[in-house]
């Protein structure tokens, strides 16, 4: 699913933000990117999603070498392969829950499938919220809406950026299990970027890439 080798990214080639010698994630496995704030976790997720291009090195995702793609090709590839759950959930305030989930289809020029969106929302306990707007949702409901949006295009790889930030222990474990369960149901791999040691405890079978400055332990 993922193969990174001699991968660097940064504004200054002499001191890159990221410098990864080698990391391999087989298809169907999950991974944790662990590191403190400023260690490059979000930057690496953006590289894996094709939002950023590496300065040098190998970056293969789902059988595609991303450095060889043009920005337009990366955008098209992302819509087919990646489900992104950003730290700031970025729900559109003027769209209801159903249309927020349908947004990736509109953005990629594909036919929307309201029945699939409604089914995903139902699985996530939001069947009665399809017509609600983000302001009327709880924090957990907004997060589950964003998860449904990330899953909507049947991605091969789900990328989640700090999904447990500001959650208590029970909610942290629930979110990690929800993401892993939804990834398994979609036959997708899951990569979580976090500085939260509890995520490692909640997903003990995940492969771990520790970025500089990481101090969490299993």
- pLDDT per residue, tens digit, the chain (218 aa), is 899 999 999 876 667 789 899 999 998 899 999 988 888 999 999 999 999 998 899 999 999 999 999 999 998 899 889 999 998 888 999 999 999 999 988 887 788 899 999 999 998 889 999 999 999 999 889 988 999 999 898 899 999 999 888 788 888 888 899 889 888 888 899 999 998 889 999 999 999 999 875 444 43
Cα 34 to Cα 196: distance, rounded to the nearest angstrom: 8
Q: Into which CATH architecture does domain 2-210 fall?
A: 3-Layer(aba) Sandwich (3.40)
Q: Tell me the longest C-alpha to C-alpha distance in the chain.
A: 53
Give residue limits of the domains in the chain: 2-210
Alpha carbon 205 to its chain centroid, in Å, reads: 18
pTM, 2 dp: 0.88
């Amino acid at each position: 699913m993922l193969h990174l080798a001699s991968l660097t990214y940064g504004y200054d080639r002499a001191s890159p933000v990221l410098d990864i010698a080698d990391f391999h994630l087989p298809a169907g496995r999950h991974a944790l990117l662990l590191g403190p704030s400023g260690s490059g976790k979000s930057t690496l997720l953006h590289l894996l999603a094709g939002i950023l291009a590496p300065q040098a090195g190998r970056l293969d995702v789902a059988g595609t070498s991303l450095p060889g793609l043009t920005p337009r090709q990366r955008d098209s590839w992302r819509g087919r392969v990646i489900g992104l759950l950003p730290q700031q959930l970025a729900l559109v305030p003027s769209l209801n829950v159903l249309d927020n989930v349908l947004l990736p289809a509109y953005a990629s020029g594909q036919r929307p499938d309201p029945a699939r969106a409604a089914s995903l929302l139902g699985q996530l306990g939001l069947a009665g919220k399809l017509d609600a707007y983000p302001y009327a949702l709880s924090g957990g409901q907004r997060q589950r809406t964003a998860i449904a949006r990330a899953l909507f295009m049947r991605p091969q790889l789900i990328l989640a950026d700090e999904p447990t930030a500001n959650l208590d222990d029970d909610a942290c474990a629930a979110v990690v299990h929800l993401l892993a369960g939804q990834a398994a149901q979609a036959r997708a791999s899951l990569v979580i970027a976090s500085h939260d040691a509890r995520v490692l405890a909640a997903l003990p079978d995940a492969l771990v890439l520790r970025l500089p400055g990481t101090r969490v332990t299993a």
